[in-house]
Amino acid sequence: MDLSNFFSIMRGEIVLAAIILILLLAEIATKDKKKIVDLAIGLFLIHTIFGFFGVGEGVLFGGMFKASPIVNLFKNILNVGVLIILFQSASWVKGKLEEHNRVSEFYILLFASLLGMYYMISAGDFLMFYIGIEMASLPVAGLAAFDIYQKRSAEAALKYIFLAAITSGISLLGISFLYSASGTIFFDELKPFMTNDSLITLGFLFFLVGLLFKISIVPFHLWTADVYEGAPIGVTSYLSVISKGAAAFILIIILFTMAKPIMELWREVIYMLSILTMFIGNIFALRQKNMKRFLAFSSIAQAGFIILGMLSGTQLGMSAVVFFIATYIFSNLGAFGVVYAIANQSGKENMDDYNGFYRTNPLLSVLMMLALFSLAGIPPVAGFFGKFFLFMSAASAGYYWLILFAVINVTISLYYYLLVVRAMFVRQNDNPIPAFKSDVYMKIGLILPAIGIFVLGLYSPIYEHINELVGMFLK
Amino acid sequence: MNILTLLVVIPALTILGLIFTKGYKQARVLSAIGMGLQFVATLYLVYMYFQARGAGNTDAFLFDQNLVWYKSLNIHYHVAIDGIGVLMILLTSVVTFAGVFASWEVKDLTKEFFIFLIMLAMGVFGFFIAQDLFTMFVFYEIAVIPMYVLIGIWGTGPKEYSAMKLTLMLMGGSALLLVALLGIYFNSETATGLHTFDMQELSKMHFPFAFQKFFFPFAFVGFGVLGALFPFHTWSPDGHASAPTAVSMLHAGVLMKLGSYGAFRVAMYLMPEGAVYFANFFLVLTGFSVIYGAFVAVRKTDLKFINAYSSVSHVGLILFALMMFTKTAFTGAILQMISHGLMTAMFFGLIGMIYGRTHTREIYKMGGLMKILPVISATYVIAGLASLGLPGLSGFVAEMNIFVGAWENPNLLNRVFSVIAISAIVVTAVYILRVVGVLLMGPLKNPEHANLPKVKWFERVVIILLMGSIVGMGTMPLWITDTIRDSLIPIMEKFVH
């Protein structure tokens, strides 16, 4: 193995591992632990910026680990999302420091989980994939329980870890079926074996369960609302965008390359699950009063849209899904950021508490409105373009009835997104959340999604870039 | 800069400027300046258009600007305009400019009010100039969504309910539309092998009949929801009754025309065989909404509801005329869009003025307003006469064309429904004259109304702008009809059998 090649291809992973080690050492070395927050954010900011430049492509460990421009793009998208979460959660973490003197764990666990996602989306075989997915879930359980004195937080962690263990067990069973039928675990070597053979079919469907759980597709969504509500907000936003995005990335890679020969099979599954997920996510979101639960169900519905884009199996489909996930990350983080800022200042998380919010905090309200409109898919914000391209990809394969279901769901979702807009803009409140100023980290953490929400859709070269990379990947 | 793009840029810059204003005075002055400039730009556009036509330019579309937006998807920012578009832009500009003055006394969150109002107008302007279906759809949704906030914050009555109902129904309509647009896109073929959203290219293609049969209802109903097609009209009375004055003016005046304009220019123009196939079905629905709207208006006692149902009836007449497939009827439909836009904006403006003084819209709680508010009342009478089709005012020109055009279609069902629709004029007279009699004539019913303030200068601006247009259109209809008829030539080619 060529060592310089190794450093070039795995640069992102190595740097992230190094950051984790530095943070561990810093915990020992420094007394003023607030500095660790700045250090972690600073290091990750540098890591994110360098991720955009000159990461190599190639194959390592005999095909276990693959890096290509599109995979690097996935990692960059995830990095930007994590960076926004870091900015948004900074003041909360500092608060935890006063409470029970814990800081670096938060960052170490978060980065370890992200490292697992790197491995997962770079995987070239099921072994690497499984290491990645496990490494991505275990630290999240620790993160979910970060509020150690809160019962709900611990409950969320337990629920997550149990269900994640069960589904990844089912996934592993599926992988073993695939191995027994083909004798290989490498994606490329498996491709010729992918037929309608019953063992292969069963194995593949079992394997999908693990990923569908992560993307919270119905019927594997039941953990979502409880875990999202119980976990600290930073962790919730991490689960809802980063974890979901990474799982969707590897799902689309596997569906579009390895499982391409059995497209007719997974198409039917995805088709049904997409309709189910959209409807159930939306219907449950209608009545939610707690903002975190509300965003949890809305994110289930969004997951239904994500997999809808995969149906076409073409370059258009993959570009649309990747682009949609990018817009979704920015929109959802914008919404979560506002919820976070409010919860930090006033501890309020219910929709009724937001009544009259515009009159005291106009900027936050406008950002929230834009983020929700983007989630709903209203122009000129990015979410509209994301959804439109998803529908285009489904239409290119002739799924007009499915699109009709989907656009009905867009209308339903608009209803509950407008409920929040109504609370903030229309409703009056005798005792509104008072005007407040967030710290500088939070401000950056809110400005970044706001920029993303505007730029991603209107500035077309971003989509064209994604489309180009996808074209190279699928060739 | 391209004159058409300018029409989108001016509102956008006005919105940007509004963000930095302080206090209601700055906000309203800036809005008036911005929309004043827009009005001047529109007049310049009209001048340029006739200049070009006079110089012998016979292209179907003028002032073309075509920029690539999403290259791999062949999505363009493409704007161009024909005579019909010029007239719609003129209408929008007049109503928007009048709308700013009609909301001169909005004091609660003034800045935000004008931002959303002008955003709505920007969407409408963009929609009328767009030649690319994607661009058009973007502007369409930009025009619809501010309504929620406008009605929700500044509305009256059950505003939360009305705002939500209106937004969801219109978004549901655009959902159907989206399916149709995607269908059109993926069934189009260009020389380069890419699909296209470009209307000018699409209009040269011939879509198979099976395709048209499937997608025409999606497109027509999708636009029809905004055009108050029965039974999808129910958002309109609630929405218009709850909305603040300027929003009712803009929404009933121009936004609803997006529906009928789109149904004509997109659904019928691109899928003519589908339109003919479904003609009878939609003829029954639209014919029904004409007569139904008129009869409901007779029974209502709230001024805004009367006008809202009258709008359902009049807008129904536009879609009704479109189902006749004759050139005269099409001309009438376009004329009715303009005429109804002006009239209904005038009505809602006047109702706002009356409500601002008396704080009630129940006609039986008022009376004898003619003596106290002579200018407003006289204008109301004239607008009412225009609405029931008195010669010399805009309504007559439009309805005359529609009914003559309708009679040109020899089909028996069309004849029957023409008779029914024409009889709606009588009903119109009933509800208009009832309002005039109860509200304006007779003795003063409520002594508190004896000292209502006189009409103010900005209200005069609203009246002069809209009334001038109504009378102008009624007395000099020929230049408008000629413009429309010239622009209809390429469209009529689609319907010759």
- What are the boundaries of each domain within chain A? 3-474
For residue A398, the chain B residues in CB contact (below 8 A) are 186
Contact A395 B70 (CB under 8 A): no
For residue B153, the chain A residues in CB contact (below 8 A) are 425-426
Q: What is the pLDDT of residue A117?
A: 93
CB-CB contact of B459 with B353 (8 Å): yes
Neighbours of B356 (CB within 10 A): 15
Nearest to residue B5, comparing CAs of B126, B133, B140, B134? B126
CB-CB contact of B389 with B399 (8 Å): yes
Q: What is the pLDDT of residue B497?
A: 54
Nearest to residue B199, comparing CAs of B129, B259, B149? B129
Question: Measured between alpha carbons, how far is A460 from B192 in angstroms, rounded to an integer?
Answer: 21
Q: What is the pLDDT of residue A173?
A: 93
For residue A408, the chain B residues in CB contact (below 8 A) are 172, 175
Sign of CA dihedral A386, A392, A397, A399: positive
pLDDT digit of tens for each residue in chain B (497 aa)? Answer: 788 888 889 999 999 888 888 888 888 888 889 999 999 999 999 898 888 888 887 777 888 888 888 888 888 898 988 888 899 999 999 999 998 888 888 888 888 889 999 999 999 999 999 999 999 999 999 988 888 988 988 888 888 898 899 999 998 888 899 999 998 898 888 777 788 888 888 888 888 888 888 889 999 999 989 888 888 888 888 888 888 888 888 888 888 888 899 998 888 888 888 888 888 898 888 888 888 888 998 888 888 888 889 888 888 889 888 888 888 888 989 999 999 999 899 889 988 888 888 888 888 888 778 888 888 888 888 888 888 888 888 888 888 888 888 888 888 888 888 888 888 888 888 888 888 888 888 787 777 777 778 888 888 888 888 888 888 888 888 888 888 888 888 888 887 75
> What is the number of residues in chain B?
497
Smallest CA–CA distance, residue A410 to chain B, in Å, is 8
Interface probe for A, chosen from B73, B144, B215 (most Cβ of A below 10 Å), is: B73
User: Model pTM?
Assistant: 0.92
Q: Is the pLDDT of residue A80 over 90?
A: yes
Smallest CA–CA distance, residue B152 to chain A, in Å, is 6
Question: Measured between alpha carbons, how far is B56 from B54 in angstroms, rounded to an integer?
Answer: 5
Smallest CA–CA distance, residue B109 to chain A, in Å, is 9
Question: Measured between alpha carbons, how far is A70 from A85 in angstroms, rounded to an integer?
Answer: 23
Interface probe for A, chosen from B19, B77, B178 (most Cβ of A below 10 Å), is: B178
For residue B134, the chain A residues in CB contact (below 8 A) are 388
Nearest to residue B329, comparing CAs of B496, B493, B486, B485? B485
Nearest to residue B375, comparing CAs of B362, B390, B357? B357
Structure tokens at A367: 């950002």
Q: Which residues of B302-311 are buried (b: 16+ CB within 10 A; e: fewer)?
A: bbbbbbbbbb
- Residues paired with residue B68 on neighbouring β-strands, in sequence order: B76
DSSP state of B275: H
Contact A395 B183 (CB under 8 A): yes
Neighbours of A415 (CB within 10 A): 16
Smallest CA–CA distance, residue B317 to chain A, in Å, is 28
Q: What contacts A89, CB < 8 A, 6 or more positions away?
A: A106, A232, A233, A234, A340, A445
Contact A426 B142 (CB under 8 A): no
DSSP A407-449: HHHHHHHHHHHHHHHIIIII---SSPPPP----HHHHHHHHHH
Q: What is the pLDDT of residue B107?
A: 81
Nearest by CB to residue B178, choosing from A380, A407, A415, is A407
For B29, the domain range is 3-495
Q: Is the pLDDT of residue A20 over 70?
A: yes
Question: Measured between alpha carbons, how far is B157 from B175 in angstroms, rounded to an integer?
Answer: 28
Sign of CA dihedral A433, A435, A439, A442: positive
CB-CB contact of A104 with A36 (8 Å): yes
CB-CB contact of B85 with B129 (8 Å): yes
Nearest by CB to residue B152, choosing from A316, A378, A426, is A426
**pLDDT single digits (tens) A454-472:** 998 888 889 999 999 898 8
Residue A446 backbone zone (phi > 0: left; psi -120 to 50: alpha; other: beta)? alpha
Sign of CA dihedral B430, B435, B438, B440: negative
Interface of chain B against chain A, CB under 8 Å? 69-73, 75, 134, 137-138, 141-142, 145, 148-149, 152-153, 159-160, 163-164, 167-168, 171-172, 175-176, 178-179, 182-183, 185-186
Question: Measured between alpha carbons, how far is A250 from A33 in angstroms, rounded to an integer?
Answer: 37
Mean pLDDT of the residues in chain A? 88
Q: What is the pLDDT of residue A1?
A: 56
Q: What contacts A420, CB < 8 A, 6 or more positions away?
A: A291, A294, A351, A354, A368, A372
Q: What angle do CA B185, B188, B189 make, to 5 degrees?
A: 135
Residue A134 phi/psi, 5-degree rounding, is: -70, -40
Contact B175 A415 (CB under 8 A): no
Interface of chain A against chain B, CB under 8 Å? 316, 319, 373, 378-380, 384, 388-389, 391-392, 395-396, 398, 400, 403-404, 407-408, 410-411, 414-415, 418, 421-422, 425-426, 460, 463-464, 467
Domain count, chain B: 1
Residue B67 phi/psi, 5-degree rounding, is: -115, 140
What percent of chain A shows pLDDT beyond 90?
35
Question: Measured between alpha carbons, how far is A236 from A299 in angstroms, rounded to an integer?
Answer: 11
Smallest CA–CA distance, residue B13 to chain A, in Å, is 16
**pLDDT single digits (tens) A129-146:** 999 999 998 998 888 888
Looking only at the bridges linking them, the beta strands covering A65-67 and B62-70 are unpaired
Q: What is the mean pLDDT of residues A340-356?
A: 86
Nearest by CB to residue A426, choosing from B72, B137, B153, is B153
Question: Measured between alpha carbons, how far is B308 from B217 in angstroms, rounded to an integer?
Answer: 25
Nearest by CB to residue A379, choosing from B71, B138, B152, is B138
Sign of CA dihedral A371, A373, A375, A378: negative
Smallest CA–CA distance, residue B97 to chain A, in Å, is 24
Q: What angle do CA A401, A285, A241 make, to 5 degrees?
A: 85
